[in-house]
Chains A and B, each alone.
Chain A
Amino acid sequence: MKLKTLTAMALVGAMTAPFAATPAFADLVFPSLSYRTGPYAANGIPFADGYEDYFKLVNARDGGIGGEMVKVIECETGYNTEKGVECYESTKGEGALVYQPLSTGITYQLIPKSAADGIPLHTMGYGRTSAANGKVFNTVFNYPANYWNGASAVVNHLLDINDGDIKGKTLALVYHNSAYGKEPIRTLEELSKKHGFKLSLLAVDHPGQEQKSQWLQIRREKPDYVTMWGWGVMNATAIQEAANIRYPMENFIGVWWSGSENDVKPVGAKADGYKALNFHGVGDDFPVYDDLKKYVYDEGNATGAGDQHGTVLYNRGMYAAMLAVEAAKKAQEIHDTADITPAMMRDGMEALEITEEAMTELGLPNFGPAFKVSCENHGGPGLASVNQWDAKAGKWNQISDYAETDMDVIGGLIDEDSSAYAKENKVEEACS
């Protein structure tokens, strides 16, 4: 063998060795359908890092869950629905306990597969909103909040800052022209009837780099408030365009998928005051980060580049992993075994109860709302907070508590949509 070939092989070996390291005794399998490539990689990376780092912490600090080590299988979807389904098919045989598809498109494809295979899905803050009805969507969970809670949370925030009266005000929805972006429309229409505000809709085509027409329309019509359902480059472009037309940032509120550092930092100082919803804490001022530092980062085991700690999407990934771990613990408790199956995991998710005491014990005080899942309600209480970007300090500040959303309106819509799904797919509504 030539020296050149040997050198090349040694180089490739040295570079791939760190990636090949996997836990030797892994029993509880949590796949991570991530996207570290493609148009949404900048958002997929922090979520995937946070998700995996929390499991690494549980392995290193607690010796796994109930004595069983956790194995994370990462599969790259590129935010592509077909690849996401392939990832599901190729990993489900490994004993996958729960999937977080991290894409509404992939979620819609996996819902029937999940029901057939009995493997639960957790679609936190995305996916099919009416999956909150556990009587129809037995294996799908979208706690602690969904898109319709988000729409209501925006309106509630407007009510808060207008002394409870937004009659005659105008709200423009700038949305990604996809199934995801269209999700809040029905809810906002209902809420506009209820509160008497005028709703205008402005669709933006994928990927959303060109929004001049929409923002010229906003400049002409001068809506009192603008809300956004965007993702990826669409968010930063919209915030930049809003700054360009000198739209007041404090009147611009994005959903939680339009509220990460990636959305505001490219705009610089002009993004100051922009608001976004959230359903979990921001920053790294939580005791869990001390543990992560001690057991994961300082051991050189941080996932990825290790430069995402404390970002909104890293925290979201970590939160998703924490909820999965707590559900697994619940499943172990219910079935009195550490070696749980996907069906047992589903039971654990349905019986999950998150209290503030538990969150404090986990090193996450006030990080997320307290909630309880039930068969009837797989969506949790739908509480959401409002964050505001401080460009000078370069951080998000939580400016409201986790507040309730209009479940009178949302509950009716969930029942209507889930019943239609049940009828179409011949699903018998029942609690197991």
Chain B
Amino acid sequence: MPASFYYGVEVMLNGLMAGVMYSLVALGFVLIFKASGIFNYAQGVMALFAAQTLVGIQTGIVPFSHMINAALGTKVHYFGWNVPTLISILLVVGVMIVFAILVERLILKHLVNQEPIILFMATIGLAYFMEGFGDLMWGAEIKTLDVGIPQGGNVFIEESTAFLGGDDFYGFYLDTLDIYATVAAVLLVTSLVLFSQYTKTGRALRAVADDHQAALSVGISLRTIWVIVWSIAGFVALVAGVMWGAKSGVQFSLSLIALKALPVLMLGGFTSIPGAIIGGLIIGVGEKMFEFLIGAPFLGGATENWFAYMLALIFLVFRPQGLFGEKIIERV
């Protein structure tokens, strides 16, 4: 086989890895949409906020230091300690649970029985609030996130596959961080599936997802379920924030990764966890292969975003509910 064939395989493998990263973001959307019918526009900002909080706690940044310094004329920025990564992650999980409780108490509680578009608008407001709040709390500068995950091409894979394509082939390039992200995504999805299938709370979540009113009639508390779902979505946002933040630093653009999740959701369906994973993989491989085979050689490159949305639009035409979404049947 010529080297170009193996490079094609390499692009496909990297597309799969990129797809996993997209799926991590899409998962948060699916969880909330499934349980409450809300398209949570703030999911990307939640990932940013979770990552900002993680770096803030890890490196001992004084929250709201800029505001405190401006108001009191002090010059405090750091507490002067470093918190171990694991403890920091647990603390951020706590913060995301508090965040979920606040969202339920301050926003969702007041919007029960409102149209989905109202709830969607509320999450847009939440996203803008969180953007500003995160910057105010932790500062807008780019932060380096170090959770001990190595980055860079995996030398073992590279060297052990270099013989495949002759002198022009340098071995498969796979980023170690992406491999970790894949393992994290597999663990996350497995845990979520086990949680929803085999725990009482998981069954309650599925009941709410199937029919709100029926779930309420058998004594399931909608408000508790919302808190649980937003907490889980907050945890998923943390995982996505850690993986993307470790890749390119913790900064505002992290919130824009939500844009990469949209075509994944259109393709996989808004209500399916496996759909988010499969959709992510299809988008990841599709956009990378298109760029490799057509985009870069013939169209000037940078076709990935365009291709992802085009593919999603094609799916919308033929299968509006996505690959795994529930078919919507309404009586006239």
Q: How far is the CA of A220 from the CA of B288 in the complex (A)?
A: 15
User: Chain B contacts of A326 at CB under 8 A?
Assistant: none
Residue A413 CB within 8 A of the other chain: no
Please encode chain B, from 131 to 161, with 1 for each CB lying within 8 Å of some chain A CB and 0 for all others: 1100100011111100000011100000000
User: 1/0 per position for B284-308, CB-CB distance to A under 8 A?
Assistant: 0000100110011000111011000
Contact A244 B152 (CB under 8 A): yes
A15/B153 contact (C-beta < 8 A), A210-B18, A244-B175, A266-B142 known? no
Q: Which residues of A contact B247 (CB under 8 A)?
A: 209, 237, 240
- Chain A residues with Cβ under 8 A from B67's Cβ? 15
Contacts of B235 in A (CB 8 A): none
Determine whether B212 belongs to the interface, using a CB cutoff of 8 Å to chain A: no
- Contact between B153 and A244, CB atoms less than 8 A apart: yes
* In contact, B248 and A212 (Cβ under 8 angstroms): no
Chain A 282-311 per-residue mask, 1 if CB under 8 angstroms from chain B, else 0? 000000000000000000100011110000
Complex contacts, A208 vs chain B, CB 8 Å: 253
- Could you tell me if B142 and A42 are in contact, using CB atoms closer than 8 angstroms? yes
Determine, out of A98-106, A115-123, A197-205, A381-389, the stretch whose residues face the partner at the interface: A197-205
Contact A300 to B73, CB < 8 A, known contacts A203-B301, A212-B18: yes
Are B14 and A212 in contact, CB atoms less than 8 angstroms apart?
Answer: yes
A216 touches B11 (CB 8 A): yes
Instruction: Given A217-B296, A236-B142, A262-B142, answer yes or no on A41-B304 (Cβ-Cβ < 8 Å).
Output: no
- Counting CB contacts under 8 A, is B244 at the interface? yes
B85 within 8 A of A: no
Q: Are A213 and B11 in contact (CB under 8 A)?
A: yes
B135 in contact with A210 (CB, 8 Å):
no
Separation in Å of the B215 CB from the closest CB of chain A? Answer: 38
A266 to B244, CA, bound (A): 13
Q: Which residues of A contact B296 (CB under 8 A)?
A: 202, 213, 217
List chain B residues, Cβ under 8 A from A202. Answer: 296, 301
Which A residues are in CB contact (< 8 Å) with B301? 177, 201-203, 213-214
Instruction: Please state if A205 and B304 are interface contacts (CB–CB under 8 Å).
Output: yes
| Interface class of chain B by DSSP | helix
Tell me, in angstroms, the Cα distance from A10 to B14 when the chains sit together: 56
Chain B 168-209 interface residues, beta-carbon cutoff 8 Å to A: 170, 173, 175
CB distance from A270 to the nearest CB of B (A): 8
B82 sits at the interface (CB 8 A)? no
The answer to the question of A151 belonging to the interface, with a C-beta cut-off of 8 Å to chain B, is: no
> Do B253 and A18 have beta carbons less than 8 Å apart?
no
Interface size on A, residues (CB 8 A): 49
Q: Could you tell me the distance in whole angstroms from the C-beta of A214 to the nearest C-beta in chain B?
A: 7
A219 is an interface residue with CB less than 8 A from chain B = yes
Interface residues of B, CB < 8 Å — how many?
A: 50
Q: Is A392 an interface residue (CB 8 A)?
A: no
Chain B residues with CB under 8 A of A14: 71
Known A213-B288, A244-B153, A246-B153: A45·B141 in contact at CB below 8 Å: yes
CA distance A359 to B71 in the complex (A): 36
Which residues of chain B in 252-281 are interfacial with respect to chain A, using CB atoms and an 8 Å cutoff?
A: 252-254, 256-257, 260
Contact present for B248 and A266 (CB under 8 Å): yes
Over the window 39-68 of chain A, the binary record of Cβ atoms lying under 8 Å from chain B Cβ atoms (1 yes, 0 no) is 111100100000000000000000000000
B292 A213 Cβ-Cβ under 8 A: yes
**Would you call B218 an interface residue if the criterion is a C-beta within 8 Å of the partner chain's C-beta atoms?**
no
Across-interface contacts of A210 in B (CB, < 8 A): 18, 260, 304
Residues of chain B contacted by A236 (CB below 8 angstroms): 142, 248-249
Contact with B along A319-357 (1 / 0, CB 8 A): 000000000000000000000000000000000000000
From known contacts A204-B302, A219-B170, A266-B142, infer whether A307 and B248 are also in contact, taking CB-CB under 8 Å: no
For the complex, what is the distance from the CA of A300 to the CA of B69, rounded to whole Å? Answer: 10
Kindly report which residue of chain A lies nearest to residue B151, judged by CB atoms.
A244
Which residues does chain B contribute within 8 Å of A265, judged by CB atoms? Answer: 142, 144
Q: Which residue of B lies closest to A222 (CB)?
A: B170
Interface string of B89-121 (1 = CB under 8 A from A): 000000000000000000000000000000000
Least distance between B17 CB and chain A CB atoms (Å): 8
User: Which residues of B lie under 8 Å from residue A95 when comparing CB positions?
Assistant: none
Chain B positions within 8 Å of A214 at CB level: 301
Is A73 in the interface zone, CB < 8 Å from B?
Answer: no
B1 within 8 A of A: no
Shortest Cβ distance from A257 into chain B, in angstroms? 15
Which residues of B lie under 8 Å from residue A40 when comparing CB positions? 252
Given the complex, which residues of A lie within 8 Å of B305, measured CB to CB?
205
CA distance A204 to B10 in the complex (A): 20
Would you mind naming 15 contact pairs between A and B with Cβ atoms under 8 Å apart? A14-B71, A37-B131, A41-B140, A42-B251, A177-B301, A203-B302, A205-B305, A213-B292, A216-B14, A236-B142, A237-B248, A240-B151, A240-B247, A262-B141, A305-B139
| Residues of chain B having any CB pair with chain A under 8 Å | 7, 10-11, 14, 18, 65-67, 69-71, 73, 75, 77, 131-132, 135, 139-144, 151-153, 170, 173, 175, 244, 247-249, 251-254, 256-257, 260, 288, 291-292, 295-296, 300-302, 304-305
Contacts A209-B244, A216-B14 supplied; 4 other A-B pairs, CB < 8 Å: A42-B142, A209-B248, A236-B249, A305-B77
The 8 closest A-B CB pairs, nearest first, are A266-B249, A203-B302, A41-B140, A233-B253, A207-B253, A203-B301, A177-B302, A237-B248
Report A's interface with B, CB cutoff 8 A: 14-15, 17-19, 36-42, 45, 177, 201-205, 207-210, 212-214, 216-217, 219-220, 232-233, 236-237, 240, 243-246, 262, 265-266, 268, 270, 300, 304-307
